[in-house]
Amino acid sequence: MKKGMLAVVLLLVIVGIWGCAPPQPTSERWYTPQQVADGKLLFASHCAGCHGDQGQGGSDWDRPKADGSYPPQPLNGSGHSWHHTLSSLEKTLAQGGTHPGATMPGFAEVTTKPQRLAIIAAFQDLWGDLIYSKWLYRAGL
């Protein structure tokens, strides 16, 4: 193999490995500060009652209650809301809990889609850069 060819192959391998590596923590977000500000107000009136004013969730949130239903999960990045894509989060906010025994109400009647996206921006703004990057890599927009 000629030297030039070898260099090209090596370069492709390096770029390939680089491309597969998980992203480094990013501080770049999909939303604007205005969405976070709007979302915070909506979160306080619609969500904080169950998920906590800082999105900390209910206690023992990962264990079912006596009736088999689950307490509200944290939304501040310590739970598993970062496993869901933006559109599936938006769907949860619109429709509420859909699995059997779910108790979260839907908000499609009382919020618009831009408002629901703003609410998501508000709780994602509580996530550290590492969790946000993991979300982008695993689920994302």
* Interactions with ligand HEC, residue window 70-129 (CB under 6 A): 70, 72-73, 75, 79-81, 89, 92-93, 97, 102-105, 107, 119
Q: Which of 36, 38, 47, 136 binds ligand HEC (CB under 6 A)?
A: 47
Q: Which stretch binds ligand HEC (CB under 6 A): 9-17, 22-30, 44-52, 125-133?
A: 44-52
Closest CB 13 distance from ligand HEC, rounded Å: 38
The Cα 47–Cα 58 span in angstroms is 12
Closest CB 141 distance from ligand HEC, rounded Å: 15
Q: Rounded to whole angstroms, what are the CA distances from 115 to 29, 72, 73, 107, 121?
A: 17, 21, 21, 10, 10
Q: Which of 46, 126, 127, 133 binds ligand HEC (CB under 6 A)?
A: 46
The DSSP string of 56-98 is: ---TTTTS--TTSPPPPPP-SSSSSGGGS-HHHHHHHHHH---
Q: Which is nearer to ligand HEC, 23 or 105 (CB)?
A: 105
Name the helix (H) or strand (E) containing 123.
helix 113-124
The Cα 119–Cα 69 span in angstroms is 24
Residues in the site for ligand HEC, rule: CB under 6 A? Answer: 46-47, 49-51, 69-70, 72-73, 75, 79-81, 89, 92-93, 97, 102-105, 107, 119
